[in-house]
Chain A
């Protein structure tokens, strides 16, 4: 049972490039989340989804896009990368209906230079 899997783990991007962070969960969870965490700070919600075909903005959605075509996958797209997007990105999932036990991926370290 893999849980929540994120790829890539590390990536360096040049300013203006685009990329997609992949997130897959094998727990048949309805709810999925993308967070970013800057050094020494808390997690900021970028986007979340309560089911396939449904996505909604979080606290810091600008510069990002998401899609949820299947229950398992929730990719995060960065368009026109900027140095301000240098951060650690975490994907998470939850069955929904309760804040009990939310599972996180291992994180993706992104540097924009």
Chain B
């Protein structure tokens, strides 16, 4: 099967940089995605890594290393509105998308 592990909580201050890690176990997959979810809302897509390396989208960057079964989401210039839950998810060859348990990010002033 597939499984993903993330830290349950991360706290950072406004304006700082924070990294949310994701380790996974799988026999094969297309790529690793990241999603943001605010309380009471639907998940929204942030970033996707099909290949090893860094993908940058504005203040958010995501990294994947298949050899290390590891990825991370990097959030720069943190803002209060970034306080939310962040999920990594594996997208496999059969079209299945499996999520990690999520990391709750708290941004403090």
Asked if A43 is at the interface of the complex by the 8 Å CB criterion, the answer is yes
- Give the interface residue-count category, chain B: 20 to 34
Q: Does the CB pair B31–A99 fall under 8 Å?
A: yes
Asked if B102 is at the interface of the complex by the 8 Å CB criterion, the answer is yes
A75 to B102 Cα, complex, angstroms? 26
Which residues of B in the span 17-54 have a Cβ within 8 Å of any Cβ on A? 30-33, 41-45, 48, 50
Q: Does the CB pair A90–B42 fall under 8 Å?
A: yes
A106 to B44 Cα, complex, angstroms? 10
Which residues of A in the span 40-72 have a Cβ within 8 Å of any Cβ on B? 41-45, 48, 50, 56, 58-59
B residues contacting A by CB (< 8 A) are 30-33, 41-45, 48, 50, 87, 89, 91, 94-102
